[in-house]
Structure 1
Amino acid sequence: MHAGLRITAFAAALAATFGTAYGVGEAVDPVVEDPAPARHESHGEASQAPNEDGGQDGHGGHETEPAGGLQISEGGYTLDLRTRSVTAGERTGLSFVIRDDDGRAVTAYRREHDKELHLIVASRDLGTYRHLHPTRAADGTWSIPVDLPRAGGYRVFADFTPAAKDAENLTLGADLAASGTYEPQRLPAPNSTADVDGYDVRLDGGLRPGKETELKLKVSRDGHPVTNLQPYLGAYGHLVALRSGDLAYLHVHPNGEPGDGTTEPGPEISFTATAPSTGTYRLFLDFKHEGKVHTAAFTVRAGAATGPGEAPSDVPAGAPSGSSSAEHEGEPGHGH
């Protein structure tokens, strides 16, 4: 899917400080309000967002590719998030509605990658990640239970395509607060290997601003390549990239698909992706093996494009493994 949304200004991420209460129950409004359009919306300068160290995250300058998830409304559709806060560590129902320009709930969608709608929930520090598939009621209300482990600010992304004629794929975003005692976490250092649930996943390649690049991820277990990956959402892997700071959303899928006569079920999964700007990104790879979905996470830096034959600058060869697997829910709790 493409992310065809305009960039908006990055809002301040977290209002709480280390070790303080983040808020309680429904008395808390979302920690981040939806930002107003910024001056760089029409290819002006992008805002400098603070990184996890309080400095600049490095995605200033011009946006070279539109990013998604930064607006609650786009293309005549609005994400109406009815659940605005939850309690960390408690299973809570999350519900929302997609509305059209007339305020009516959308009840017809095109199925893409086996689902009408993909729901991503990620914490502002990118330490928690959920890829969910909610249930839609006849009146257009989507709902699913969530259990967010830590207090703080979260971003909810709805990735969908309305069934209306000429409608395009959209990714809309809204803020969610999880109450409790907030303890900030640093973004893991850049890594090219990830260990998750006994699997080793290696990333080759990197992101480039405004330039398509290939990302190859190789899955192995116990030192042996996994050659029997199972289809998941119509592919052998599913990749989401979120930009550190404002959580700009980039959603990509593999090159090839099961049954096309050329794509093998592992160990390698290939993607093509374009970063919307320079900056630090967190990549989340979902893959399915032996009936379970696993999520491997990587931190990469997208910088200036390199010339032919040059090594990627954002993922150094042999980069050490950081905190490589996102908190996620395995099936059936994975939400699919």
Structure 2
Amino acid sequence: MNTAAKLGSYVLGLAVVFGGALGAGKAVGPVGAPPAEDHSAMAAPTASAGHGEHVTQQTKSDTPGGLQVSQNGYTLNPLTTTIKPGEPTDYRFTVTGPDGKPVTDYQVEHDKKLHFIVVSRDLGSFQHLHPTEAGDGVWSVKLTLSSAGTYRAFADFSPTGGSALTLGTDVLVAGDYEPKALPQVSRTATVDGYTVTLDGDLTPGQASKLTLKVTKDGKPVTDLQPYLGAYGHLVALRAKDLAYLHVHPDGEPGDGKTKAGPEIVFYAEVPSTGDYRLFLDFQHEGEVRTADFTLSAGRRPELPTPTPTPSEHGDDHSH
């Protein structure tokens, strides 16, 4: 392989592409056999793919979603600077556009114009919130952070006429803080009498099929309720830097083929080896619950060695 080819393979091997997408959309498609549609989105990431309805082209980027406060001329601007532990706070922020003005026109994705995720830096706490518009491009949400420390907030949205984006900013809560260790790798979570099991593995650089099965009191739950246009929402965050991925299940309620449980199938593509925290939101009996897991992504698959063409060997002199 010549030097240029080697360099090209090396760069490709480093490409960071998260598959799937939220907040805005439906995103994740099947893998197993990889889906016919492109369900990528933690990549080009800073972006969340849409719910399948909009066709805005994402801007390619080597930076995973949520690591930047600004991208493509859009900036997440916190307006609230003080939060006290355990005290409900009216947290406000704007998103400014390339013209420097607050954005007021958004595409609706998964029943909302903007999705807002807040997690603690140690990934021990997780909140999926939906702010309301307070006017003039200002968003407002009631936010309660139970303990002191550093949190990361993600705004997941699609401005009308622009690419889907996930922007992130730190939220500080004053007080004594001692970070906790990342929860151990787990494939079973319990919440409010429900047990959720996870089957599948994360393989860097390729779409990975994840199947989550919901049971209650030992019996499969077959009547999950749609929540924001889907039977489940899955957010994955890479430990340490909190690179963000929001994926959605294969299929959607009312499509004539997707069952309301007990299994919810997702396809996700992570950019690197390492530990990831996964948070599943699902709704049953009128209440949304969150199950959390820790997974470790294995090695990135080997890239195939390109087969030289005859011209590379000087054997073919045809024009």
Per the normalisation by structure 1, the TM-score is 0.72
Please say if 1:86 is aligned against 2:83: yes
Distance 1:212 1:118 in 2: 24
Aligned to 2:147: 150
Counterparts of 1:279-318 in structure 2 under 5 Å? 279-305=274-300
Please say if 1:278 is aligned against 2:317: no
Secondary structure, aligned partner of 1:86: coil
Aligned to 1:3: 42
Kept in 1, the 8 Å contact 2:205–2:301? The answer is no
Name the aligned partner's letter for residue 230 of structure 1. Q
Runs of 4+ with deviation above 2 angstroms: 1-7
Distance 1:42 1:138 in 2: 32
Aligned to 2:117: 120
Which deviations, in whole Å up to 9, do the C-alpha atoms of 1:208-246 show, x marking residues without a partner? 111001100000000000000000110000000011101
Name the aligned partner's letter for residue 162 of structure 1. P
Name the aligned partner's letter for residue 243 of structure 2. A
Q: Which has the larger radius of gyration?
A: 2
Distance 1:71 1:184 in 2: 23
Name the aligned partner's letter for residue 112 of structure 2. K
Per the normalisation by structure 2, the TM-score is 0.76
Kept in 2, the 8 Å contact 1:5–1:74? The answer is no
Distance 1:195 1:42 in 2: 36
Distance 2:231 2:116 in 1: 19
Aligned to 2:183: 188
Distance 1:6-1:224 versus aligned 2 partners, 3 A rule: closer
Aligned to 1:107: 104
Aligned to 1:159: 156
In the TM superposition, residue 5 of structure 1 has moved relative to its aligned partner by: 5.1
Please say if 1:238 is aligned against 2:238: no
Please say if 1:226 is aligned against 2:211: no
Distance 1:42 1:255 in 2: 25
Kept in 2, the 8 Å contact 1:230–1:288? The answer is yes
Aligned to 1:133: 130
Kept in 2, the 8 Å contact 1:5–1:171? The answer is no
Which sections of structure 1, spanning at least 5 residues, go unmatched?
8-40, 44-65, 308-336
Distance 1:205 1:275 in 2: 13
Distance 2:271 2:143 in 1: 30
Distance 1:5 1:136 in 2: 27
Which deviations, in whole Å up to 9, do the C-alpha atoms of 1:110-133 show, x marking residues without a partner? 001111000000000001110000
Report percent identity of matched pairs. Answer: 58
Kept in 1, the 8 Å contact 2:121–2:151? The answer is yes
In the TM superposition, residue 85 of structure 1 has moved relative to its aligned partner by: 3.5
Counterparts of 1:254-265 in structure 2 under 5 Å? 254-265=249-260
Which deviations, in whole Å up to 9, do the C-alpha atoms of 1:163-201 show, x marking residues without a partner? 1x2x11100000110112212211110001001111000
Aligned to 2:313: none
Distance 1:285 1:247 in 2: 16
Distance 1:198 1:6 in 2: 35
Kept in 2, the 8 Å contact 1:240–1:283? The answer is yes
- RMSD after superposition: 1.7
Distance 1:128 1:85 in 2: 19
The count of corresponding residues between Structure 1 and Structure 2 is 250
Name the aligned partner's letter for residue 219 of structure 1. V
Counterparts of 1:22-33 in structure 2 under 5 Å? none
Distance 2:168 2:79 in 1: 13
Distance 1:91 1:121 in 2: 14
Distance 2:102 2:42 in 1: 22
Which deviations, in whole Å up to 9, do the C-alpha atoms of 1:254-302 show, x marking residues without a partner? 0000011110000000000000211110000000000000000000011
Kept in 1, the 8 Å contact 2:42–2:269? The answer is no
In the TM superposition, residue 145 of structure 1 has moved relative to its aligned partner by: 1.1
